[in-house]
Structure 1
Amino acid sequence: MSAAEQGVRVIVDKERCVGSSTCLVVGEGNFVLDEHDRAEPTAPVTADVAAVEQAEQLCPTGAIRVVPATAQSAG
């Protein structure tokens, strides 16, 4: 089963995130800013692989990681 079929998990490093909002623009509804203006995923797993991978690539601080949905998140 491909990543697109099973979805992906999005992990945001809150220490690296500066709240640039790039992920909100390119992530097409997969991200919001929390009360500290740091990005967080709108759902633990998404099937919108292309959008979150683009957000990962364009994040100016490299705070976003996209991993297979079956991967365990650290911490």
Structure 2
Amino acid sequence: MKGREKMNNMIATLEIIRYVSAIALCVALVALAIYGLYRNIKETAEDTVREELERAVREAGRPVVKVEIQTKGKW
């Protein structure tokens, strides 16, 4: 009887280990998916900021010409 009980305990322990391993795998996969999404959003934001900065620098480097015309009532 003791041998059978010991075997049942071992099987139960292995089943628990199996379920814990499955849960750990699912958690790891979800974490990996979230990390991939985070990196994608971060890279997109960095690219957007870089493009906006380059555009701002280009616009700031252009000469600014201000023209004022006074007609003094003449057309």
User: When the two structures are superposed, what TM-score results if normalisation uses the length of structure 2?
Assistant: 0.20
Q: Which has the larger radius of gyration?
A: 2
User: When the two structures are superposed, what TM-score results if normalisation uses the length of structure 1?
Assistant: 0.20
- Structure having the higher helix fraction is 2
- Could you say which structure has the greater relative contact order, defined with CA pairs below 8 angstroms and 6 or more residues apart? 1
